[in-house]
Chains A and B, each alone.
Chain A
Amino acid sequence: MPPINDDIEGARIMVKLDDLLYARRMTLTELADRVGLTLANLSILKTGKAKAIRFSTLAAICRELECQPGDLLGYQAEPGRAEDG
């Protein structure tokens, strides 16, 4: 699970696209075709290099993978720092 946004106060948003693709037996290329994104952009998301994700992209991915945004994204607190709540 590659983290993104690790420059913001140590917060890490994990993208679990790899796990979801594996569970759905779907390739990244296939998903890119279905959601209308370029493979390059989807790779950026998968590898955690994205800085932001559009709601439209999130909705398209959730639609194709039949999941909720929470299934795709996860939050991990800064290492050594207690999680909120």
Chain B
Amino acid sequence: MNFRSTDPLLTAAKVVVALLIALSVFVMAMLTIALGALLTVGRADLLAELASAGAPPYAYWIVALAIAMLIGLFWFAFRFLRDLWSIIASVDAGDPFRPANADLLNRMGWTVLGAYITALLIALQAAWLEQFDPLDSMDTDVTVDLGAGGLLLMLTLFILARVFRHGAAMREDLEGTV
């Protein structure tokens, strides 16, 4: 990863994105370990706790599914950030208007949609689990931002993808002009 750039904004963006990529990978690793533990050594404890809370036995699988979906959510974040890094790198190289960037922006739009749906499903699972009072001690408080921000970001990305496609076509024309 090359952080050096003549533009301070791009350097700052690269540092922030790299940190967030590292964070998302770390959280994914931690959640994977937690899921592994839940399915093996922690299984009996959780089942006992769920039973004492009056939750049905399948609540165990709901918890496991929620954690798996959280891993998925961070996977979406990781993909988004990786694509953003590629775009920043192309801007830094002085060549942002290329068809590949339009594809990246399009993919980022779908990633945001995927993350939004995943977050919605996690919120539903968390809301369902929260009805069992004693589970509060397990910290099932999952607050997920389901505001219009995510959808607006998705629309912006899809529109920007089209802008970049036009830009790439114009650039191609300009390249052939002497």
A residues whose Cβ falls under 8 Å from a Cβ of B:
37, 41-42, 44-45, 49-54, 57
A41 to B173, CA, bound (A): 14
B residues whose Cβ falls under 8 Å from a Cβ of A:
173, 175-178
Q: What B residues does A41 contact at CB under 8 A?
A: 178
16 A-B pairs with C-beta separation under 8 A: A37-B178, A42-B178, A44-B176, A44-B178, A49-B176, A50-B176, A50-B177, A51-B173, A51-B177, A52-B173, A52-B176, A52-B177, A53-B177, A53-B178, A54-B178, A57-B178
Q: What B residues does A53 contact at CB under 8 A?
A: 177-178
Q: What A residues does B176 contact at CB under 8 A?
A: 44, 49-52
Q: What B residues does A50 contact at CB under 8 A?
A: 176-178
Q: List the 10 closest A-B pairs by CB distance, nearest first.
A: A51-B176, A52-B177, A41-B178, A45-B178, A50-B178, A57-B178, A53-B178, A44-B178, A50-B176, A51-B173
Minimum C-beta distance from B169 to chain A (A): 12
Which of B173, B175, B176, B178 is packed against the most chain A CB atoms within 10 Å? Answer: B178
Minimum C-beta distance from A2 to chain B (A): 13
- Extra inter-chain contacts (10) besides given A50-B178, A52-B173, A54-B177, CB under 8 Å: A37-B178, A41-B178, A44-B178, A45-B178, A50-B176, A50-B177, A51-B173, A51-B177, A52-B176, A52-B177
Minimum C-beta distance from B171 to chain A (A): 12
Q: What B residues does A44 contact at CB under 8 A?
A: 176, 178
A37 to B178, CA, bound (A): 8
A41 to B177, CA, bound (A): 8
Residue of A nearest to B177 (CB): A52
Minimum C-beta distance from B47 to chain A (A): 68
Q: What A residues does B175 contact at CB under 8 A?
A: 51
Minimum C-beta distance from A39 to chain B (A): 11
Residue of B nearest to A37 (CB): B178
A51 to B169, CA, bound (A): 13
Minimum C-beta distance from A67 to chain B (A): 17
A44 to B175, CA, bound (A): 10
A53 to B178, CA, bound (A): 5
Minimum C-beta distance from B119 to chain A (A): 46
Which of B173, B175, B177 is packed against the most chain A CB atoms within 10 Å? Answer: B177
